[in-house]
Amino acid sequence: MASHVTHPGTRRRIMFDEALPVDHRLNRVYRIGAALMGLFLLAFGILGLTNNIGFFDTGGNTAIGLNTNGALSVLSICVGVLLFVGMVIGGNFASTLNMVLGVLFILNGFLFLGLLDTDSNFLAFRIQNVLFSFVVGIVLMVFGMYGRVSTNLPHDNPYWRARHPEAEQRAITSGDQVR
């Protein structure tokens, strides 16, 4: 049983209010989450590359307590740079990027959990890498979902307004504003 009413044909895009100040708390959370994870991934990737290990070597080289090889180091640097780009852009882009990368980290953890101790483990994952992938995925998703997903979002939240167009329409017809 659905707890909400569907409105066929009245689908609206969720958009941030362009009048929000640059230092709005949602924007800060998205940027901080992207920066923290990006910084760690960059450090991990750079330290992995400085070990001069093979690109697809699965010999058990470590950096910051995690197994690595050249491919995983380069991939970590690329994702870290992408998260820093999200930090610079901020807003809805950073939020969506954090959520998408969080889901990808979790899926990657499940994928390499199945590939442990096989010849197909081309990124040299061990169990600590899998657990790290799960933790980073959850942290990125939490940072990305902050202010977007909740049962009690404030009524001036752009996501609440997009999910409750009837309340906004009632406010407009009665002369009030839902902002």
| Per-residue pLDDT at 40 | 93
Instruction: State the virtual CA torsion across 15, 20, 22, 25 in degrees, nearest 10.
Output: -90
pLDDT beyond 70 at 76: yes
User: 119 or 149: which carries more pLDDT confidence?
Assistant: 119
pLDDT beyond 60 at 14: no
Other Cβ atoms closer than 10 A to 32:
14
Q: 36-50, 86-100, 137-151: which has the minimum mean pLDDT?
A: 137-151
Beta bridge partners of 66: 63
User: Sorting pLDDT into bands at 50, 70 and 90, what band is 143?
Assistant: confident
Q: Report residue 33 as tokens.
A: 């989450």
Kindly report the backbone phi and psi dihedral angles of residue 91, in degrees, each rounded to the nearest multiple of 5, phi listed first: 60, -145
Q: Is 18 exposed, middle or buried (0-12, 13-18, 19+ CB in 10 A)?
A: exposed
How much of the chain, in percent, has pLDDT values that exceed 90?
31
pTM of the model: 0.73
Q: 84-95, pLDDT tens digit by residue?
A: 998 888 877 888
Instruction: State the virtual CA torsion across 109, 51, 79, 117 in degrees, nearest 10.
Output: -20
pLDDT beyond 90 at 6: no
Other Cβ atoms closer than 10 A to 22:
8
Among 4-8, 13-17, 50-54, the range of highest mean pLDDT: 50-54
Query: To the nearest whole number, what is the mean pLDDT of the chain?
Result: 79
